[in-house]
Amino acid sequence: MQALPLQTGSFIFIAGYLGSLLIIGWFASRQRRGRSLGDYYLGGRGMGLWVLMLTLFATQYSGNALFGFTGQAYRVGFTWLAILHSMIAVVAGYLLFAPRLQGLSRQHHFVTPNDYIEYRFPSKALSVLVALCLMVVLINYVLAQLKVMGLMLAGLSGGQIDAFWGVVVLAIIMMIYSTMGGMRSVAWTDTIQGAMMLMGFILIAIIIERDMGGWSPAFAQLREIAPAKLAPPDGRGAVTWFSTVILIGIGASVYPQAIQRIYAARSIDTLRQSLAGMAVLPLFAVVVVLALGFVAIARFPGLEGSAADQVMAMIMRDVLNTGWFGHAVVTVLLGAILAALMSTADSALLSLSSIFAKDIYGKYLRPAASDSECARAGQWWAWIILGVLVWVSTQENLTLYRLFVLKFEILLQIAPAFYLGVNFRSLRATPIILGLVTGLCVAVGGWSLGWMPFGLHPGTVGLLCNVWMVVSVHYVCTFRKPQNQRSH
């Protein structure tokens, strides 16, 4: 990645932004009411419309949305419009279970996604299995964000900032404000970060028109140099498109950190209005990011593989050379990228901390522990796991999109427990456990072998097997019982 010749003003802006996160964390810590896990991990269940919408937005749109989506649009061309449908489908997925789940969480004081699983399917095996899957996904999620942070700091500063120490400093800032105020500080900083990301998306639209010659000349050039990237998908490509919508649409709707935001909503109406806003945002945010990737095909032809993930940085370098306005634009865009990375990583870390505190420490390691002791254990766990992940993030060598897909392969298999559990009252734990195990074997096995039958992702095939197993075992169990037990 080429270095950005940043000036002192840019560093002061970024430092001011990072400082404001710490101030918000301190302020949030003063707003805490009591020492309960619900107050620490769900911000007292009082999230209003704007905070909820912006925290969902900032959590859902990670660093991958800026680097990965642009890179993938560059690599595959217009068929990556599949991601636009997918990001709207995520909200459709929420509507099928989130409002009911929110009502249940108020009645039964859920804190982690696993609290619902335990309430709905009282099975220790299922609860442990789901907790492990969620932790693997969250670790993957944080790792992906740290990896992009390292990539960005190393590349964009051109050696002015050491990648490892840069990631360490950002991780420490993130952990300080998360530890101080829990969900309150994460959601409040997400609000600032979400607003900054929206500003970043607006600036990208301006960059395309002002600095890259606009859409039309770029598309004319694109037609000349890479017509294949303008072509509609073939039969297999169309199946992969549909599979992507299922994979991301259903998978992302059961992000543990998103489920905790559902619990944290002030009311069902607040949740519904926030989701309505979330359904509109992709029409702007995703479209401009994809357009940037498409325009970059014409501007920087010939990039292959993971090199395409750097187009955003290459564009920023071009814009930086256009004078003071370009400098200001790139500085704000850098802030938006940092915001996207940190808001996703802090939410995932807080979720990871809550799952350890409530589902592992408070249940199996020290069942007699008080809420504040569990919260402290969760905070220590988050610090330790973050330390390990910072180190691992400098060792791995996967492209961003591959990391992005892996977590969905697993998340998708947990989805039936929420979707079917909320909507089918007669469903029991055994079909869900068998379905989850079958789905995980197919999805993870298929992913490691690079298997994509008919263009379907292994996770989607796993989900089909998972649901088939749930339905089959459910009906076998139901019909084996006498009529009176069934009605009971």
Partner 1 sequence: MTQHLKYRGRWSALVLLTVLSGIPWYWPENDFGWQTWLVPGWVWVTLIAAIVLSALVVWGALRGWPDEPSE
Binding site for partner 1 (CB under 8 A): 78, 81-82, 84-85, 88-89, 91-92, 95-96, 99-100, 103, 215-216, 219-220, 223, 230-235, 238, 241-242, 245, 267-269, 272-273, 275-276, 279-280, 282-283, 287, 423
| Angle between helix 311-320 and 68-76 (nearest 10) | 100
13 vs 242, which CB is nearer to partner 1?
242
Give alpha helix (H) positions in 300-399.
311-320, 324-354, 371-393
- Phi, psi at residue 109, to the nearest 5°? 55, 50
CB of 217 to partner 1, least distance (A): 9
32 vs 106, which CB is nearer to partner 1?
106
43 vs 282, which CB is nearer to partner 1?
282
Q: What is the Cα–Cα distance from 235 to 155, expressed in whole angstroms? A: 38
CB of 240 to partner 1, least distance (A): 10
Question: Cβ distance 163 to 9 under 8 Å?
Answer: no
CB of 274 to partner 1, least distance (A): 9
27 vs 424, which CB is nearer to partner 1?
424
- Return all residues near 400 (Cβ < 8 A) that are at least 6 apart: 64, 67, 68, 71, 144, 147, 148, 306, 309
14 vs 95, which CB is nearer to partner 1?
95
CB of 81 to partner 1, least distance (A): 5
Task: Give buried/exposed letters for 25-50 (b at 16+ CB in 10 A, else e).
Answer: beebeeebeeebbbbbbbbbbebebe
81 vs 434, which CB is nearer to partner 1?
81
Distance spanning both ends of the chain, measured CA to CA: 64
Phi/psi region, residue 77 (left: phi>0; alpha: psi -120 to 50; beta: rest), is left
Question: Cβ distance 303 to 156 under 8 Å?
Answer: no
Q: What is the Cα–Cα distance from 435 to 447, expressed in whole angstroms? A: 18
CB of 179 to partner 1, least distance (A): 33
CB of 207 to partner 1, least distance (A): 19
